[in-house]
A = this chain, B = another copy of it.
Amino acid sequence: MSVKYTSSTENYLKAIFHLQKSDGIVTTNDVANELQTRPASVTDMLKKLKAQKLLIYEKYKGFKLSNEGRKVALQIIRKHRLWEYFLVEKLSFGWDEVHEIAEELEHISSKKLIDRLDEYLGFPKSDPHGDPIPDSNGKFTLPKQVDLLNLPLNKVAEVSSIGDQSPEMLELLGDKGIALGTKLEVKKKFAFDNSLELKIKNQSMVTVSEHVAKNVFVKYDE
């Protein structure tokens, strides 16, 4: 039967899950940095997670989520992303203002609530940032996508996901007229600094840096 975890435990599991995705290996400092806390606090929590069999951990030797830990993390992520979808689609929030609120809502415990919400929303496949929403069993399908640097010239594509989702990045994208679902094509790539000129559908041309280009993912046919 489904056990109840504290919000803190859930936040740690989620952070470790996300760090595992990108790096593979996760360190105490990584987690401290991600959760805006101190390394000593992280070590304390690692021991608790190990005691609950949510983490495989040997001191000084590193750690990773257990199967159970991964399972719990995926359910938190499911809740987070469904609430984000709800906020944008039903309550007309901007995609750049839902993360904080979802950070709280993801800890509401009722399984029935989240399954009803999923149904109410029409079983969406991805959240407002293009990230996949795990189903009730934790399964999800990664959409095939490339970043703008690897998008062929003059190929119309649709923005499907954003890598760096910092407020600064989202503000820049909003300003350039780039949102999830935006149709665009790369018109020119400058070899000098890998900056790109983009034609955004129904808008004028814009220029983006390599840093931005690497964090905007798109889907396109073929």
Residue A120 lies at the interface, judged by CB distance under 8 Å to chain B: yes
Q: How far is the CA of A105 from the CA of B109 in the complex (A)?
A: 10
Query: Which of B91, B108, B116 contacts A113 (CB under 8 A)?
Result: B91
The answer, among B90, B100, B104, B110, for a CB contact under 8 Å with A101, is B110
Taking a contact as CB atoms under 8 Å apart, the answer to whether A110 and B104 are in contact is yes
Residue A36 at the B interface, CB < 8 A?
Answer: no
Can you list, as one digit per residue, whether each of A107-129 has a CB less than 8 Å from chain B (1) or not (0)?
Answer: 01110010011001000000000
* Complex contact A108–B116 (CB within 8 A): no
Bound-state Cα–Cα, A109 to B7, Å: 15
Q: Does A93 count as interface, using CB distance less than 8 angstroms?
A: yes
- 17 CB < 8 A contacts A-B: A87-B113, A90-B120, A91-B113, A91-B116, A91-B117, A91-B120, A92-B116, A93-B116, A100-B110, A101-B108, A101-B110, A101-B113, A104-B108, A104-B109, A104-B110, A105-B108, A108-B108
For A100, A109, A110, the residue with the greatest tally of chain B CB atoms inside 10 Å of its CB is A110
Q: With A91-B113, A91-B117, A105-B108 given, name 8 new contacts (CB 8 A).
A: A87-B113, A91-B116, A91-B120, A92-B116, A93-B116, A101-B108, A101-B110, A101-B113
